[in-house]
Amino acid sequence: MRLSCALLLLAALLAPAPLRADVPWAFHGPKTSAPEPGRLVMFVGVDISGSFMNAKNFDDSIHFLARYIYAHLNGFGGMEIPHSLFVGSIGGVQKDEAKTLYPIQAFQNRNIEQIEAQLMTIFPKKKRNPFTDFNAFFSQVADMVEAKKLILKPLSIVLITDGKPDLGGESRSEKFRSIKLRPLENLSRNITVRILYTDAVTGKSWRDEVPRKRVKIWTQDAVVMTEWDDPKLLEPNRPFYMQKKFFAWVKDNVDFQPRLRRVD
């Protein structure tokens, strides 16, 4: 009897670990390894001003962001695994207020639900800032890139926001003209700022009025962003890593590479 128990215990110890359902490469045998991180450096800024947090799209944006981060960290659907990732808030109680940038380790080795819970903890709806300060966020991005010696790596800055600036002048045009991308200009040859959950008019102002030389700008309207969880894109009862339509939608509508355009 003791011999039988010992043999069963030995067999259990030698048995391979159970495969995770959310890790596709685990099904292809020991010779297949997880994708390696690329050169991409990602910054994600979430608008915590009352105007955006009180709007109908804030919760939707957090749900999407959790899946977006998870997909990138695992390289699903050919999405590039970032070399570095930092997540922080766009907002302030006063002008030029610095905010915490949470590093990639705060999101690694977590499933979608855990990443979403982490985002809810970092950006609680009860803690709102009076206004949106894009310039302070861009300045922090530049400081972090230099401090971490990430200069010349491809840079993707994703802004979850309605895109409407609160500072920089009286008129709408003056506010957009006062957005300063200059701190980003010399960080890399490939810099893209992506403004998500905006509207058509605001997106056009970002593309046409924000001064820049080397920084590319891509905007996506909220009416498009909220389609990410359509059952035709994110198919029910299908493992997340097999959501090819969703990943293709992200590449076309979020991670799209716009052309470089100079605005003086």
Residue 128 lies in a domain: yes
Q: Taking 90 as the threshold, does the pLDDT of residue 257 lie above it?
A: yes
pLDDT digits (tens, 9 = 90+) for 90-135: 976 667 677 899 999 999 999 999 999 999 999 998 877 767 889 9
Is residue 174 situated within a structural domain? yes
Nearest-angstrom CA–CA distance, 210 and 163: 12
Radius of gyration, CA atoms only, the chain = 21
At residue 30, the pLDDT reads: 40
Q: What's the confidence (pLDDT) of residue 13?
A: 37
Sheet of 215-221: strand order equals 102-103, 84-90, 41-47, 155-160, 191-198, 215-221
Binned at pLDDT 50, 70 and 90, residue 89 comes out as: very high
Burial of 144 (0-12, 13-18, 19+ CB in 10 A): middle
CA 12/CA 26 separation, integer angstroms = 20
Predicted confidence (pLDDT) per residue in 44-78, tens digit: 999 998 889 988 999 999 999 999 999 999 999 99
Q: Is the pLDDT of residue 154 over 80?
A: yes
**Residue 20 predicted with pLDDT over 60:** no
Model pLDDT for residues 177-204, shown as the tens digit of each residue: 999 999 999 999 999 999 999 999 999 9
Mean local confidence (pLDDT), 239-255? 98
| Residues 183/216, Cβ–Cβ less than 8 Å | no
Of 194 and 20, the one with more pLDDT: 194
The stretch 144-166 carries a mean pLDDT of 96
Instruction: Flag whether pLDDT at 22 surpasses 80.
Output: no
pTM of the model: 0.87
Give the structural domain span for 111: 52-253
* CA distance linking residue 39 with residue 83, whole number of Å: 5
- The mean pLDDT value for 215-240 works out to 97
Please indicate, yes or no, if residue 243 is contained in any of the structural domains. Answer: yes
Mean pLDDT check: name the lowest of 162-171, 211-220, 248-257.
Answer: 162-171
Per-residue pLDDT at 103:
98
Q: Classify residue 199: in a domain, yes or no.
A: yes
- Decide if 205 is inside a domain: yes
Question: C-alpha dihedral over 30, 240, 38, 192, to 10 degrees?
Answer: 170
- Decide if 180 is inside a domain: yes
Q: Does 20 reside within a domain?
A: no
d(CA 57, CA 80): 26
Residue 19 reports pLDDT greater than 70: no
Residue 41: inside a domain: no
Q: How many domains does the chain have?
A: 1
Report the CATH number at residue 145: 3.40.50
